[in-house]
Structure 1
Amino acid sequence: MAAFAGHLSEGAAIDWAALHARWILDTDPAAAPLAYTIFAVAMTTVRLLGDPIRARLGSVRTIQLAGVLATCGYVLVLGAPLTGEALRVVCAWTGWALAGVGLATVVPVIFSAVGAAGGPVGRALSLVTAFGYSGMLVGPAVLGYVAEASSLPVALIIPGALAAVIALSGAPAIRALPRADRVPVES
């Protein structure tokens, strides 16, 4: 579930950040794509630093922090239209940056935890990967249908809520995995 939520929230930013800036915030067409660029730069930067972050904080605290940051990012994005005209874009871009920072470590931490669990790692990792990437593929399209039926801000509540799911369910999911160093070796 956490991998699905992470991928869907990431896919939402990839496909909808620039359109949110253009359609909802009424950003200049030339500046609207910067929303996605800010998200991508933040995500890439933190993803490159993900292993040292996880080594320092541990997988459980890293995924909790990731979920909280991503949730805060989506709250800022969704709240941006409520701010003054001068702050709208800054608020949304800050939100996309926070979402990128938070979502950057979700999938690598989950994949690493599944790999460290031992047992039939290939089967477990393929299952987690399938659920994760289904969120990336299906999520943005579902958000498009929701946006068409209601509005883009209403659709973006979905990845914001799923970011909160990461914060709440990611840590218990990682704790529930057996660790390879605690799994008895069969003779």
Structure 2
Amino acid sequence: MSEVSRQRISLSGYFFLLGFGFASWASRIPSIKTNFDFNEAELGNLLLVMPISSLIGLPISGWLVSKYNSRVPLFVSYIFFSISLLAIGYSSKLEFLVIAVAVFSFCMRIANISVNTQSLAVQKMRDKKIMGSFHGLWSLGGLGGALFSTVMVKLEVPMKEHFLYVALISLFFGIIAYPFLLKKDKSAIGNRLVLGKPDKYMLYLGLMVFFAALCEGGMFDWSGVYFREVVGEEIFTLGYLIFMTFMAFSRFFSDRLIDLIGMRKTYVLGAAIVTFGMLLAIIFPYFTPVLIGFSLVGIGVSAVFPMTFSLAGSSKKYSPGMAISIISTYGIVGMLIGPPLVGYLAHIFGLQAAFVLFILSGLMLIPLSQLFFRLKNE
């Protein structure tokens, strides 16, 4: 087996395991809501901790991947990511829960920046589009995490035991894959953030990631709650599970779709599918229509992140690691605003009405993508 193949396999493992760990957390948000007797606004406050700590981690992650090869910050942050998930499960006091969630999000951000920096380097060595498949593995890990969580909920396994199993699995396979990561991917140029007038190339990409993150992050955090409280389904993880299933498998086909119709049309098609799916789930809040609607939302958002990260990696102004860090800042702001905003809107108008926010987010991809490609073609 070639060295590039080993690097791709080890990176695939990290993408999968990061998705698995995140989905384990997201799937048990309704359990946390019940255990701590949160209302929607209080849950929104807890969810606000994640994007804030993640936002703090962004400049640190950008500095780390520009100063060192990305494999070291990836491995160290991944270890603490796994340990902090375990701490969430064992938190019995609100203060400990907030700290554990903050560390979990902080480490996840550094790991995500590092793993995407590695993947761009491997993609360039292979000279073919593979970002979609990497992100597909993250989503597949999310699907695996959601399935595992569904089994744990069905068997009434306590959350702390559930997260213990996830942490042990993640640590075991993460340590095995570490020696095969790409060792020399530090860029010699473009490692400094240039302050001043925003670069339109990065601005448009960032805004697309912002709205995609608002929609995707909101679905991560609220789809299970929607299924339990609006649809009335006891196995609440089904909402998250169906969303992740269709997003995961769609990402494996996204590179082929882009080759067929181009990125510009793929953004528009994705926005249209998100809008239709969410309208279906809101207008017909019953098991089958919501299941179909969430499936369509998963398909619609699937290609946005891998496409946008690939475009950011082609920046002439910044190194891949710095470009991804800048773009991710917009994504974190989207996640900062999205889930808590859904909580506040749901507290005032009801969760069903609050999901209109995802329709507006999906539609914004259309004008932004057209502005970006008009600029790119000038």
Q: TM-score, normalised by structure 2?
A: 0.43
Could you say which residue in structure 2 is the equivalent of 1:94? 292
Match of 2:346 among 139, 144, 147: 147
For the pair 1:170 / 2:376, whether they are aligned, the reply is: no
RMSD: 1.8
SS at match of 2:284: helix
For the pair 1:109 / 2:311, whether they are aligned, the reply is: no
- Mapped to 2, the partners of 1:164 and 1:55 lie a distance apart of 23
Structure 1 residue 124 displacement after superposition: 4.1
Match of 1:33 among 216, 237, 249: 237
Could you say which residue in structure 2 is the equivalent of 1:15? 221
Could you say which residue in structure 2 is the equivalent of 1:127? 326
SS at match of 1:116: coil
C-alpha contact 1:59 1:174 (8 A) present in aligned 2: no
SS at match of 2:313: helix
Could you say which residue in structure 1 is the equivalent of 2:15? none
C-alpha contact 1:147 1:155 (8 A) present in aligned 2: yes
Q: Higher relative contact order at CA 8 Å, sep ≥6: structure 1 or structure 2? A: 1
- Mapped to 1, the partners of 2:339 and 2:274 lie a distance apart of 17
Could you say which residue in structure 2 is the equivalent of 1:73? 277
Amino acid at match of 1:70: V
- Mapped to 2, the partners of 1:35 and 1:50 lie a distance apart of 23
Q: Percent identity?
A: 26
Structure 1 residue 117 displacement after superposition: 4.2
1:137–1:47: structure 2 CA closer, same or farther, 3 Å change rule? Answer: farther
1:128–1:174: structure 2 CA closer, same or farther, 3 Å change rule? Answer: farther
- Mapped to 2, the partners of 1:133 and 1:51 lie a distance apart of 24
For the pair 1:138 / 2:334, whether they are aligned, the reply is: no
Structure 1 residue 146 displacement after superposition: 1.4
Amino acid at match of 2:208: A
C-alpha contact 1:61 1:171 (8 A) present in aligned 2: no
C-alpha contact 2:213 2:334 (8 A) present in aligned 1: yes
C-alpha contact 1:72 1:95 (8 A) present in aligned 2: yes
- Mapped to 2, the partners of 1:173 and 1:103 lie a distance apart of 18
Could you say which residue in structure 2 is the equivalent of 1:185? none
- Mapped to 1, the partners of 2:248 and 2:374 lie a distance apart of 26
Q: Gaps (5+ residues) in structure 1? A: 82-87, 183-187
Q: TM-score, normalised by structure 1?
A: 0.83
Amino acid at match of 1:111: F
C-alpha contact 2:315 2:323 (8 A) present in aligned 1: no
Structure 1 residue 102 displacement after superposition: 0.6
- Mapped to 1, the partners of 2:376 and 2:330 lie a distance apart of 17
After superposition, what is the alpha-carbon deviation per residue over 1:75-118, rounded to whole angstroms, capped at 9, x for unaligned? 1111123xxxxxx2111111100000010101111122222343
SS at match of 1:130: helix
After superposition, what is the alpha-carbon deviation per residue over 1:52-95, rounded to whole angstroms, capped at 9, x for unaligned? 111111110111111111111111111123xxxxxx21111111
My pick for the range that moved more, 38-47 or 151-160, is 151-160
- Mapped to 2, the partners of 1:61 and 1:137 lie a distance apart of 28
- Give the greater-gyration-radius structure (CA): 2
My pick for the range that moved more, 94-103 or 120-129, is 120-129
C-alpha contact 2:275 2:363 (8 A) present in aligned 1: yes
Q: How many residues were matched structurally? A: 171
